[in-house]
Amino acid sequence: MRRPGVTEAWRNLRGNEMHQKMAPRLALTALLAWVFAGLAASAAAEPLAVLVSVAPQQYLVDRVGGERVHTTVLVGPGRDPHAYEPSPRQMAEASRARVYFRVGVDFEEVWLERIRQASPSLRVVDQREVVTLRQVEGHRHDGPRHRRAAEPETADAQRQPAAQAPGRADPHVWTSPPLAQRMAAQVRDELTRADPAGAAAYAAGYARLARDLDALDAEIRAALAGAQGRRFMVFHPAWGYFADTYGLTQVPIEQGGKEPGARTLATLIEQARDAGVQVIFVGPRDNPAPAQAIARALGGTVAAVDPLAADYADNLRRVTAAFRAALR
């Protein structure tokens, strides 16, 4: 066996010394690469933070976004969107949000600018832009929180694009499943814009939701078949888009955002009597007293319906059943 020469032995020794010196550096480099890869993977796995105004919007965003989104709803169950103030926790959530889907409820007029200040990079998306708006019946607000609304003369005058609708536009667009489907398509597009890697997931989520909303729409149409042209009376005019979609007419007790006086109440009783109304609908945040007074005069009843319920599809089924029973 050949023994290494002096020169070769010296080279081997120097190689071993260099390896011993480089090993800690290589190990540190590998460790840092592993840590940064983990951080990048964690950031990629972090759900997209989304902000919405009301719970029915959360239903749409969650169905489209699935596990890729984390949705914060500002006006939760039992809250009044006309006089709501976000909590400090919600403002903290807003500061982390990437997208905010607004819908035109009253509190936004006061709080939208503050939400923007909390998150300067927040993308604000108005969900009214994808639907044709209607005006709220008899809704005349002169206070600082509301714009003055003109009385429409025809049914066509009640429906105008968001950019052209004068006065007080009805924000309750989600109460119509076909309009909710347009809102969901907008959600899909905006989530994809904010998170392109999730495009396929958002497209699939929207497709499933669209099928369900089509089925819900068909179910409601079948349940209300034969009721077209009938009137129903509600305290707060939150069901106009639902009524428009299914050929009904809502008659609101609330006038200009205020409870009716004695003269208006008497007129409403006569209207209800002429229309054969026997059920007066109220929301969970409404004062039931005026509805109860009308119901007593008619020998009718008061029933609860909630336009802000979080369980969107099941709630519309319950509302449809209540309307169907009232319109027989």
12 or 163: which carries more pLDDT confidence? 12
**Share of residues in the chain with pLDDT > 70 (%):** 77
**Quick one: 226-326 is in which CATH superfamily?**
Nitrogenase molybdenum iron protein domain (3.40.50.1980)
In the chain, which residues fall in CATH 3.40.50.1980? 48-219, 226-326
Per DSSP, 4 falls in state P
Q: Is the pLDDT of residue 228 over 90?
A: yes
Helical spans, DSSP H, in the chain: 6-45, 55-65, 88-96, 107-118, 177-194, 199-223, 240-245, 262-275, 289-298, 312-326
Q: Tell me the sheet residues that pair with 49.
A: 70
Predicted pLDDT at 65: 98
Q: Which of 219, 217, 181, 218 is nearest to 64 (CA)?
A: 181
Reduced to 3 states (helix: H, G, I; strand: E, B; else coil), residue 248 is coil
Per-residue pLDDT tens over the stretch 116-148: 988 889 999 999 999 999 998 864 433 333 332
For residues 40 and 197, what is the distance between their CA atoms, to the nearest angstrom? 14
For residues 72-97, average pLDDT: 83
Tokens coding 10: 């010296």
Predicted pLDDT at 150: 29
Please, what is the average pLDDT of the chain? 82
Predicted pLDDT at 30: 47
Is the four-CA dihedral 247, 252, 255, 261 of positive or negative sign? Answer: positive
Predicted pLDDT at 18: 54
Does domain 48-219 correspond to CATH entry 3.40.50.1980?
A: yes
Predicted pLDDT at 234: 96
Beta strand 279-282 with 301-304 is: parallel
- pLDDT band at 293, cuts 50/70/90? very high
pTM of the model: 0.78
Per-residue pLDDT tens over the stretch 50-74: 999 999 999 999 999 999 999 999 9
Tokens coding 164: 């052209």
Predicted pLDDT at 14: 56
